[in-house]
Structure 1
Amino acid sequence: MAVEIVPDWMSNLEDEDMVFIKNFLQASGSLKEIARQYGVTYPTVRLRLDKLIQKIKISEDTENDPYIALIKRLAVNDKLDFDTAKILINEYKKIKEAVQ
């Protein structure tokens, strides 16, 4: 794959996410091996993988409004708590509906 053709889901990931993916692939998808490499517990690695999956899903959801996608990305990256994210998204949808 050429560098110029990086999918959106990859361009929205942080460097440490890409390193995690590389290590995960090199470990043949073994979460136990990744936990050993990082010196953390299996549940910690599972949580990291789940957050990474959420990031990818958000990026691939082409039906999402860019603002909503931004809010979801901020929540997944722990820059915004999920309750606040829900409130912002719901209020934004109400305003959008009122304008239409």
Structure 2
Amino acid sequence: MENENIPRWFLELNDEEIKFVKNFLLASGSIKELAGKYSTSYPTIRKKLDKLIQKIQVNERKDNDTVVKLINQLEEEGKIDQEIAKTVVLEYSKSLNCLIID
């Protein structure tokens, strides 16, 4: 499978998060069943799921963000250096990650 067909939000999940998503799907979305599998409480699993949802939403926002699109357009037009564009987008993305609440 080519990485270009995989959404960026999925590629940014770590191994533990991917395993959690897999287990969630195999449990047919049952938080109660997942809590039993992880030997933890329903609220703990709910919090973990909410954090994953936030992470996906932030990554989706990054993909559609007008600031990132503008920087990429300026780089494509040769108005700013590729390294500068990459650095600015990376730093801006880090600031968006602050929106994820623990």
* Aligned residues of 2:58 and 2:100 also touching (Cα < 8 A): no
Q: How many residues align?
A: 77
Asked if the contact 2:35/2:42 (under 8 Å) is kept, the reply is: yes
| 2:95 is equivalent to residue 71 of structure 1 | yes
Deviation, structure 1 residue 69: 2.8
- Residue 74 of structure 1: CA displacement? 5.2
1:2-21 alignment runs, 5 A limit: 2-4=1-3, 5-21=5-21
Q: Percent sequence identity over matched residues?
A: 42
Q: Which residue of 2 aligns with 1:46?
A: 46
Name the aligned partner's letter for residue 53 of structure 1: I
Q: CA deviation at 1:59?
A: 0.5
Q: Which moved more, 1:43-52 or 1:68-77?
A: 68-77
Gaps of 5+ in 2: 69-88
Q: CA RMSD in A?
A: 2.0
In structure 1, what is the Cα distance between the partners aligned to 2:14 and 2:97? 12
**Greater Rg by CA:** 2
With over 3 angstroms needed to count, the CA separation of the structure-2 counterparts of 1:77 and 1:17, relative to structure 1, is farther
TM-score by length of 2: 0.66
Whichever residue aligns with residue 73 of structure 1, its letter is: N
TM-score by length of 1: 0.67
Shift of 1:68: 3.6
In 2, Cα distance between equivalents of 1:68 and 1:33:
38
CA distance in 2: counterparts of 1:77 and 1:8, whole angstroms: 20
Structure 1 gaps, min length 5: 79-100
